[in-house]
Amino acid sequence: MTRDLCASHVRKVRGVLSALAAVLACVGLCVPSAVASDGVDWRVDGMGVRDAWASGITGKGVKVAVLDNQIVSDYPALAGADVSYKLVTEGGQPCYLETGDGSVSSEPVSTDDPTVLSSSGYMMTHGTHMVSLIAGNGSGWDGGSGIQGIASRASVIAYMLDADSKGNLGELNMPLACRTQNNESTVQTIGPSVRDAVDSGARIINMSFGYGDVSDAIFRDYMLYALRHGVVMVSGRSNGSWAGLYDLVGAPGTTDYFPGVVTVNAVDSAGNLQESSDVMDGNVSVLSPGVGVPSYRSTDSREMDLTGGGTSTAAANLSAYLALVMQRWPDATGNQILQSLIRNTKGNASGGPKLDPEHKRGFGIVDPGKLLSVDPTRYPDVNPLLEWAVKTSGEHEETKGMYEYPSPLGRNGVADTDVFSPNGERISATVEASLVGRELQRQQAAWEKVESCRADGGSDCMKYSATATADEEDGKVAGDMASDASGSSVVPSWVVPVVLAGAGVLVLAGVVLAAVLVRRMRRARDAGRAVPVGTVGGAGVPPVPYGVAPSYGGPAARSAPVAGSYPNAGAPAGYAYPPTQAGNGQVGQHVPQPPLPPRQ
């Protein structure tokens, strides 16, 4: 993400659907690097990218979807690039953009061309930055240097989720959401864009933002849809210095920590975490260049510099590296690419995934050279991050049973785990979370069938893989899920925190469960009340935005969140935490935090 809106999330009213606004908020504040001051774009020159180009690996033939805000279509770096632009809304509703004064535009945004031109006063937007990091040609305004894409021949679909308000990209910059004509509600764009990206053949979906309180519809119909089809989803963690969860267990109510999504943190050329997000976050899986990288300071900037960055940019850079890898290994599935990604990070010669025991660096720094040299088709067609989250969640008492399939919550249930972070966050999981467990079971069973076929000397055994059979699974989930959940009597440890034994176990269990559900359950949420979290927060903001529509904001710090339910803990209703976009030439502010308390 470009602007690192991650610094703070705007929390308009809890229920506002400005997912779009949230989308762009991922770019984290950054710290300039020594290499950047030398005028070297180290994410290209220091990561073996030029060697890949020299061998013909440019991303050609790989389709990448970028979900973000409006693109400045005449930005010079995009001239000649294979970029198409889309606006996809729930039910085809027209999008009327907020104007910033409480009203909306008189005309809806064109679905054929939802872009803006420099003649409107926009020289750069968060979305333009992200797309250019992937597919830019290096040209800038007035004949100067611009953003060079890592996979400049990749095919990019830029999905508009909302728009940038004009201003300094590194400071408070509120997003302008898609609204209904009467301005009564936000028009949903994130979920429909994810599904359209999958149906349009995207191999990678870049989401340089965070979105919390994901509704069951988005969860079931969009995120899981992409997961089933083996599409690699990349997002960034918050740029803030508040600690995340204790381990890699995912958070099904979010887009950036959704099980199976690659959650990225930013590093500089020396491998150091960016200062503003140098903190424990168990859900971070990979590190990528995001400090001292190409950026612009404001929406009207005509001059690029190499002192910006953040988690948004780190995510976009990773998406670009993966596009190169997919061109190099066209027969590999998205899941196999992810298997290779976490096994072949810099400095890891073990051949297997090695998770940082301090839960700050995930599986390590992406190593494009190694990924281009190791054939990923040797690995299982099973999403390793999905597998890791489900397995690890079962190893902690606080999260055990979160993804259990079938679910014990019934048709419309939702429950919170016990506290699972130093800041008091809990993970909210609806009955739909069990579909995560179901999908893992499907992928593992499919791979067993592939291996059995190979052992028997069969041919074309990959036709049995999870990715190849995804269409067969589509359409089954909703109906099967409802019947399985309603008939289930399984009670996970995180719903009933006591071990029951003896003759009255079943009766007592029912009483306890009823009491818990009376306290915790609420009606299943519908897509209409999904709450975007904004970009991945900025300095001083918890790892996942708490609340609704994010805005692209600056490095304003706030106090620690109040203990509560993850991802909406600590955000009083109606209180806005504007997300700050990454980089864009702004130096991230580091807010010192006290040492993490010991886990109880």
Which residues are known catalytic residues? 68, 126, 312
Radius of gyration of the chain (CA): 22
Q: Are 295 and 130 in contact (CB under 8 A)?
A: no
DSSP label of 594: P
* Residue that has been written with the tokens 């027969």 in this structure: 331
Rounded to the nearest 10 degrees, how much is the dihedral formed by the CA atoms of 497, 503, 507, 510? 20
* Angle subtended by helix axes 434-455 and 477-487, to nearest 10: 110
Q: Are 360 and 281 in contact (CB under 8 A)?
A: yes
* Residue that has been written with the tokens 């992409």 in this structure: 226
Interatomic CA distance for residues 69 and 72, integer angstroms: 10
Q: Give the containing element (helix H, strand E) for 505.
A: helix 505-520
By residue count, the chain amounts to: 600
Q: Let me know if 512 is exposed, middle or buried by CB neighbors in 10 A (0-12, 13-18, 19+).
A: middle
Omega within 30 of 0 (cis) for the link into 406: yes
Q: Which amino acid is at 470?
A: A
Cα angle at 406 between 402 and 411, to 5 degrees?
90
CA 331: distance to chain centroid?
25
Contacts of 147 (CB under 8 A, 6+ apart): 77, 129, 132, 133, 136, 138, 140, 294, 304
**What 3-state class would DSSP assign to 445?**
helix
Closest C-alpha among 179, 184, 181, 131 to residue 158: 131
Backbone angles phi, psi at 67, to 5 degrees: -95, 115
Q: Hey, what are 147's tokens? A: 């953003």
Interatomic CA distance for residues 585 and 3, integer angstroms: 9
Strand extents, DSSP E, 350-444? 414-416, 425-430
Give the residues across from 26 on adjacent strands. none
Strand extents, DSSP E, 22-98? 63-69, 83-86, 96-97
Interatomic CA distance for residues 499 and 507, integer angstroms: 13
* Angle subtended by helix axes 434-455 and 384-393, to nearest 10: 120
Q: Are 81 and 152 in contact (CB under 8 A)?
A: yes
